[in-house]
Amino acid sequence: MGSNQSVGIVEPKTAVLGDLRLDNGSVLSPTVVAYETYGTLSPNKDNAILVCHALSGDAHAAGFHSEGEKRPGWWDEYIGPGKAFDTNQFFIISSNVIGGCKGSSGPMSINPVSGKPYGSSFPFVSIKDMVAAQKLLVESFGIQRLLCVAGGSMGGMQALQWSISYPDSLENCIILASSAEHSAMQIAFNEVGRQAILSDPNWNNGLYEDSATPRKGLALARMMGHITYLSDHKMREKFGRKPPIGNLLNSDFAVGSYLIYQGESFVDRFDANSYIYVTKALDHFSLGKGQELTKALSPAHCRFLVVSYSSDWLYPPSQSREIVKSLEASDKRVFYVELTTNEGHDSFLLPNQRQEDVIRGFLNMPVNE
């Protein structure tokens, strides 16, 4: 990788923005967005890059919140001095999506009418709504045009939506391990996760208390999701058919013990309602296929980089190629790379020198190429 340097200690910030009319007609007032920034905004405000996170991510994309923190932000391998998103060169903005549970407006926010958390009474949020909230945040910096919007998985959907919602507001768009719409299989995995939450005895129609959250259901949802993030090769390499360390009360196999751990640790950092809201936003996002997708992408006039991963069976390369084909059909400037990996869908999050080289090369390529 390009550099071992980190952006260091970063401060989480919150912006209280104006009213936002959502896709379903509801009005979010005020619109609160949690965010972090890395690097320095140029005097001309022309070096800003917005990084969009995936399903379980948040605004903490790089660096550390304190000296004692052991794990950096989720994309620290790629954001920092000398890295692909070079903070010596670019001003990086990362925000938590609305509908999430890490500081932006969402089900855990206080409803000003009741004085209690919204819970399941929070309005439905779409990918388009998430992007609209990000646009308000970007405008609050006085930035009229982003150098780039980038993201993987759900973040790639947001980046793609940016290119058509605000075509004059970005020069480049990077889409990693993503899709223009979910397939029936992708919806099915999310539906099983949601049903696990709804079946939890503590669900209470989404109006649960902090002292009795649907932990078991959310843990099961995470276990289901986590299976799809890895490849068969990675699971065989990591676990095979080995027994778990310790007793067999919870699982007969190491892979089962690992999934249980992933589920139990996830419930301490995520909210069940937010999981339902965000997965529904994913499932309802649809720009179509074929000619329908080509028409949907026609407003865009930025330059695109689309990256897929050979072992990703959740968002397979065929879905990335569908985006590329439609961009080419509508005469857009697009570069496509399929990286050979064994890591599965999570490949875009993991260290990969080829991925770093591709991103860096794209960002530093002259605009007219």
Active-site choice (6, 94, 104, 153): 153
Please answer whether residues 60 and 19 qualify as being in contact, where contact means their C-beta atoms are separated by less than 8 angstroms. no
Active-site choice (56, 312, 326, 347): 312
Q: Is 58 a catalytic residue?
A: no
Q: Is 120 a catalytic residue?
A: no
- Residue 21, annotated ligand binder? no
Q: Which residue has the tokens 């952006």?
A: 7
Q: Give the pairing type, strands 31-38 and 27-28.
A: unpaired
Instruction: Name the token pair of 316.
Output: 């397979």
- Concatenating the DSSP letter of every residue in 300-311 gives --SEEEEEEETT
SS3 label, residue 325: helix
In terms of residues, how long is the chain? 369
Instruction: Report the run of H or E that residue 146 belongs to, with start and end.
Output: strand 146-152
Distances from the Cα of 277 to the Cα of 123, 187, 272, angstroms: 9, 13, 9
Q: Is 345 a catalytic residue?
A: yes
- Residue 357, annotated ligand binder? no
Cis amide linkage into residue 30, ω under 30° from 0: yes
Alpha carbons within 13 angstroms on the beta-carbon side of residue 33 total 27
Q: How far apart are CA 311 and CA 56, in angstroms?
A: 21
Active-site choice (53, 60, 182, 345): 345
State the amino acid at position 241 in one-letter form: R
Q: Any idea which residues carry the catalytic annotation?
A: 153, 312, 345
Known binding positions for substrate: 222, 346
Q: Which residues are annotated as a binding site?
A: 222, 346
